[in-house]
Amino acid sequence: MSIYLDNAATTAPYPEVIAAMQPYLSEIYGNPSSTHSIGRKARTAIEQARKTIAGLVGASASEIIFTAGGTEAANIFLQGIARHVPHIISSPLEHPAVLATLRYLEKAKITPVTWLKPAGNGQLAPEHLRETLAQHPNALVALMHGNNEIGNLLPLPEVAAICQAYNAPFFTDAVQTTGRYTLNVNNSNLTGLAASAHKFHGPKGVGFLYLKKGTKLTCIYHGGEQERGLRMGTENVAAIAGMAKALELSYARLAASRQHIERLKSTLTNLLREKVPGVQFNGTSGKQNEGLYTILSASFPPHPENDMLIFKLDLAGIAVSAGSACASGANKPSHVLQALQHDEARATVRFSFAASNTVAEMHVVADKLAEIYG
Q: Could you give the residue numbers annotated as active site?
A: 326
> Cα–Cα distance between 260 and 249 in angstroms, integer?
16
The pairing of beta strand 192-196 with beta strand 207-211? antiparallel
Q: What's the length of the chain?
A: 374
Sign of CA dihedral 357, 4, 251, 176: positive
Collapsing DSSP to helix, strand or coil, 113 comes out as strand
> Cα–Cα distance between 92 and 172 in angstroms, integer?
14
Looking at residue 102, its amino acid is L
Helix axes 126-135, 156-165, angle to 10 degrees: 20
Instruction: Find out whether 322 and 350 touch, Cβ atoms under 8 Å.
Output: yes
* 115, β-bridge pairs: 90
Exposed/middle/buried for residue 147 (C-beta within 10 Å: 0-12, 13-18, 19+): buried
> Cα–Cα distance between 176 and 198 in angstroms, integer?
10
* 298, β-bridge pairs: 281, 349
The pairing of beta strand 280-281 with beta strand 295-300? antiparallel
Looking at residue 180, its amino acid is R
Cα 228–chain centre separation = 24
> Cα–Cα distance between 235 and 68 in angstroms, integer?
9
Q: Which of 111, 53, 54, 109 is nearest to 80 (CA)?
A: 111
